[in-house]
Amino acid sequence: MNIVQTSGLGRRYGSTWALRGCTLAIPEGHLVALVGPNGAGKFTLLNLVVGLTSPTAGELTVLGGQPAGSLAALDGIAFVAQDMPLYRHLSVGDMLHLTRNLNRQFDTAFARNRLAELGIAEKQKAGRLSGGQQAQLALTLALARHPRLLVLDEPTAPLDPLARHDFMATVMTAMADDGVSVVLSSHMLAELERVADYLVLISHGRVRVDDTVENLIACHRLLSAPSADQLHGVEGDVIESSTAGPQTHRLVRLAAPETPLPPGCEARPVGIEELALAYLRETTATQAPTLAGASR
């Protein structure tokens, strides 16, 4: 089952396309890293997935075929935004009460038990909690709805390293215990490399990469050779090329993991952070190769 599926999805604001021609097929059970520069269209895609806005073009379904924004979709998706949407002057207990009344399903006992384990008292004002506690409160309110899909928009950006670690540990536990699928938008590539097993990279409002981390690592190689001529004829797409001294380096997406390499060249695998940065360094959309996983 695909947790998110789109075909030619687009969203326009006035005459400007924030997202265009987006085609994705993301299977359930993954922690999906959504990566891209500011203004790339990530936030627009998240808003479309959770039903906060509607498409200008194309189609979008979630949770195995439910129209985004439908009651069935809203019941199965929880969203934690970057600004932690908490009412600062309400107590934690009031936030529990409010969230329970705004949702058709909410596990109050789960939320209270989890907050007690975290040492967050219900009488505390939400605005007086530390940044890490506010993030945990927002995450608890989301998980208490027992969603099938958890959408996170830069949730750890304002947090210190320990709070980020604790937040992500909670997310990973929810995936393991409850089978929650996760879409996580973040600029922290090193952190994503540790936890994500699926990568979607958006640039200039279009999807550039859409595949499992396993497949991406298997198909990408950084090739080095004393002469650029030695790297000609490699079957695949050149993502990035550079020269350092006598060596020419090329990051290549091979046609297949077993693609033969030219004699005399060295090859090494690359990690997700290095790969994502190479795609992000592409400055012109038409120059950036597209890895359309939805067409597999």
127-160 pLDDT tens trace:
899 988 999 999 999 999 999 999 999 888 778 8
Domains of the chain: 2-203 (3.40.50.300), 217-289 (no CATH)
Starting at the edge strand found earlier in the chain, the sheet holding 16-27 runs 16-27, 2-13, 57-62, 66-67
Prediction pTM value: 0.87
What's the confidence (pLDDT) of residue 237? 85
Residue 104 pLDDT > 80: yes
Tens-digit pLDDT profile for residues 251-273: 888 888 888 877 778 888 898 88
Mean pLDDT of 158-175: 89
Structure tokens at 153: 């928009």
- 286 pLDDT band, cuts 50/70/90, is very low
DSSP label at residue 127: G
In angstroms, rounded to a whole number, what is the distance separating the alpha carbons of residues 199 and 173? 20
Question: At what angle are helices 131-143 and 92-102 packed, to 10 degrees?
Answer: 30
Q: How far apart are CA 267 and CA 261, in angstroms?
A: 8
Residue 294 has pLDDT above 50, yes or no: no
- pLDDT at residue number 199: 94
* pLDDT tens-digit series, residues 33-77: 999 888 888 999 999 999 999 999 999 999 999 999 999 999 999
